[in-house]
Copies of this chain bind each other. A is one copy, B any other.
Amino acid sequence: MPKLQTIAEHIGARVEGDASSSVDGLATLLDAGPTELSFLANMAYRDQLQITQAGAVIVHPKQAHEVKGTALVMDNPYLGYAKASQLFNTLPDAQKGIHSSAVIHESAQVDTTASIGANAVVEANAVIAKNAVIGSGSFIGNNSRIGEGTRLHSNVSVYHDVIIGTDCIIHSGAVIGSDGFGFAPDRGAWVKIAQIGGVVIGDHVEIGANSTIDRGAMSDTQIHDGVKLDNQIQIAHNVVVGEATAMAGGCLIAGSTQIGKGCTIAGGVGIAGHLKIADGVHVTAMTLVTNHISEAGSYSSGTAMSNTSEWRKSAARFRQLDSIAKRLKQCERVLSEKE
């Protein structure tokens, strides 16, 4: 049960009210009880300050006087919430040391402060740095390196020659370093192109559950510092994802595409191969990107949703669009001749 004073110091807020009282959880304004902390980050919920039962609320200075309990006051309450949440994290600490059921190659280097979970496997010449955590059933291939403080959850697969930086989080079922999809056609069959590049992942990267990041064909696939990838994302060989870019679930990024820094890619987006996407680009959900994007901004494709019966009519007419455009032009021509 942290005291509000402690929380305020951790998140960089000042306390208005009883700094010595404690809270035992974090909840929304509507859900929070008297022993819980809440926050107001979206003005749409401002009225809830009047009815919340929360013992304390993180707010912007402008709303501080509206808080009935204790206010934790700071300019960016959403950031305050993020930092406070870490104090209430329920994720169990991993036990230091190598579990007796783990299989570690004699040439692997595992720091004494690292944690290797039950039935995990660490192959030859792999390096597991200080305070790194390898979850149960995870696999670390030859020569791969897991950086300081990085945590792999259970059943993660890391192939050989993969470098993962410090303070990363890799969720269960993620696969890093699988072969890129490369084949040369030869008289109706496909000849495999060995994928001899690796994967290099920077620091503070998070990779979601069941996401896949392929190794490079010749040089490395690269995920730069601070990138956040949600679940079920596919990153093909030789993709470069720039610093602090975030992608929501189910995105598919084809080979050799370079995505800039600070991009936000919504769920289900596909980006074709060999493209360059500028810094600061936003792509809306389920858009297909088939061209370079050279300027920051928001990009979209697709159509709006309708009732299926209405949609069928539009979809049928979509096929006639070229004819419609030409016929319209003809109408305009006739009309202008009549003038």
Residues of A in contact with B (beta carbons under 8 Å apart): 25-28, 31, 76, 78-79, 81-83, 85-86, 88-92, 99, 101, 103, 117-119, 121, 123-124, 135-137, 139, 141-142, 153-155, 157, 159-161, 169, 171-173, 175, 178-179, 181-186, 188-196, 198, 204, 206, 208-210, 212, 214, 217-219, 226, 228, 230-232, 234, 236, 244, 246, 248-250, 252, 254, 262, 267-268, 270, 272, 282, 284-291, 297-322, 324-325, 327-328, 330-332, 334-335, 338
Identify the 7 closest CB pairs spanning chains A and B, nearest first: A157-B172, A82-B184, A139-B154, A298-B308, A317-B321, A178-B209, A313-B322
Nearest Cβ on chain B to A66's Cβ, whole angstroms: 21
Pick the contact of A315: B28, B196, B303, B334 (CB < 8 A). Answer: B303
Q: CA of A85 to CA of B210 in the docked complex: distance in angstroms?
A: 28
Whether B135 contacts A137 by the Cβ 8 Å rule is no
Cβ of A50 to closest chain B Cβ, rounded Å: 20
A193 to chain B: which residues have CB within 8 Å? 81-82, 85
Residues of chain B within 8 A (CB-CB) of A118 are: 103, 121
Residues of chain B with a CB closer than 8 A to A194's CB = 85-86, 88-91
Identify A303's interface contact among B28, B318, B331, CB under 8 A: B318
Is the CB–CB distance between A171 and B160 below 8 Å? no
Cβ A169 vs Cβ B179 within 8 A: yes
| Apart from the given pairs A137-B139, A299-B311, 17 other A-B contacts in the complex at a CB distance below 8 Å | A76-B184, A76-B186, A85-B195, A88-B194, A92-B124, A99-B103, A173-B212, A175-B210, A183-B246, A190-B244, A210-B210, A210-B212, A249-B252, A288-B302, A317-B325, A327-B332, A330-B332
Kindly list chain B residues whose C-beta atoms are within 8 Å of the C-beta of A141. 92, 154
Chain B minimum-CB-distance residue to A250 = B252
Q: Which of A160, A246, A305, A332 has the most CB of B within 10 A?
A: A305
A/B interface sample: 9 pairs, CB < 8 A:
A79-B184, A82-B183, A90-B198, A183-B246, A188-B262, A270-B285, A299-B306, A314-B319, A317-B321
| A121 proximity list for chain B (CB < 8 A) | 117-119, 136-137, 154
Query: Which residue from chain B places its CB closest to the CB of A188 in the assembled complex?
Result: B244
Q: For A137, what are the chain B residues with a Cβ–Cβ distance below 8 Å?
A: 119, 121, 137, 139, 155, 157
